[in-house]
Copies of this chain bind each other. A is one copy, B any other.
Amino acid sequence: MSNSEPKRTELGQLGEFGLIDHLTSRLKLRNTSSVVGVGDDAAVIDNGKSLTVVSTDLLIEGIHFDLSYTPLKHLGYKSVVVNVSDIYAMNARPQQITMSLGISNRFSVEALEEFYAGVEAACNFYGVDLVGGDTSSSNRGLIISVTAIGQGQADKLTYRNKAKVGDLICITGNLGAAYLGLQILEREKQLYMANPDIQPDLEGQDYLIGRQLKPEARKDAVEAFAKVGLVPTAMIDISDGLSSEIFHICHQSGVGAFIEESGVPIHPDAEMQAIKFNLDPITCALSGGEDYELLFTVDPSELEKVKYLPDIYIAGEITPASDGIKLHTKGGNIHDIKAQGWQHLSK
């Protein structure tokens, strides 16, 4: 190879988080209205009175969803949920979404009506308006791009970079179930492909499959925070698994974390199914993803408020950066927690 050959660095060498940082680090914010740019759940724009919070997600068939076991109505619903979840993770309220679709001619108008019925149901539940979008052809599969827009107040917004040593680490609900639901659906798909006469065995799996196909964003938790006057010091939604999310908070806040395995909530169905799949339940919670619960930190003086809220789990404590990010297992061992999205686990 000659020296004039252009350099080629594979995407995998940087990883997803490294790639975004690498590509956007040169870009500087110039408008005074741009309060927060790349690097949190959502961008923050100051419009003079309140703050506008903007989040965007791209969902690609074959990468983010599989239509062989995902009803289109559920997919429409989930497309809205994953975006409003990012707005709630800023402690803001979603108000509008835009939705762009790339559609191959494999889809009929009726199929898209189903999809939009799910979008409409989610818009109704979360109180958001669909205000714009773009529809175009796709040469293969379905592509969904959603941007959610919300409003928040300067003294209430929660970022990833404000966790402090001594803060309690809290989670709004159980983890790992959505990942196990996905594993069940994938198993049944493989069996079906091997023998199309086989009936899917989904008996008693409603909870896990529901967590995968029809997740909810934690609107109720953010509303409850407002009711008791709680403002977390940092917050993020758990889309990639607890380990990735605690890593983001620690990395951006310049702190460490000590997580108690016994404090990480896991649903009994998830626990049982993990064992059936020969997986450690805590691994599913740490690396499973797509639960869309909120991970947040609070000053220990707020403990009474946290206890007052239903369905909040205290999973650990923020420590100095030099202590690293650790898991204290039920067996009494202490392990390093590494950031890894669920995509790595599922390979």
Which one of A64, A101, A137, A141 has the highest number of Cβ atoms from chain B below 10 Å of its Cβ? Answer: A137
Q: Which residues of B contact A48 (CB under 8 A)?
A: 47-50
| CA A49 to CA B12, docked complex, whole Å | 45
Judged by a CB distance under 8 angstroms, whether A312 is at the interface is no
| CB closest chain-B residue, reference A36 | B131
Contact assessment for A133 and B47 in the assembled complex, using a CB-CB cutoff below 8 Å: no
Q: Which residues of B contact A149 (CB under 8 A)?
A: 45, 52, 54
Stretch at the interface among A14-22, A229-237, A296-304: A14-22
| CA A132 to CA B40, docked complex, whole Å | 8
> What's the nearest-Cβ distance from chain B to residue A89, in Å?
13
- What count of chain A residues pass the 8 Å CB interface test? 80
Q: Which residues of B contact A132 (CB under 8 A)?
A: 37-38, 42-43, 54-56
The 8 closest A-B pairs by CB, nearest first: A43-B131, A145-B145, A9-B109, A43-B132, A48-B49, A58-B100, A34-B129, A37-B131
Chain A residues within CB distance 8 Å of chain B: 6-14, 16, 19-20, 22-24, 26-27, 29-31, 33-34, 36-38, 42-43, 45, 47-50, 52, 54-58, 60, 62-64, 95-96, 98, 100-103, 105, 107-110, 112-113, 116, 119-120, 123, 127-141, 143, 145, 147, 149, 151
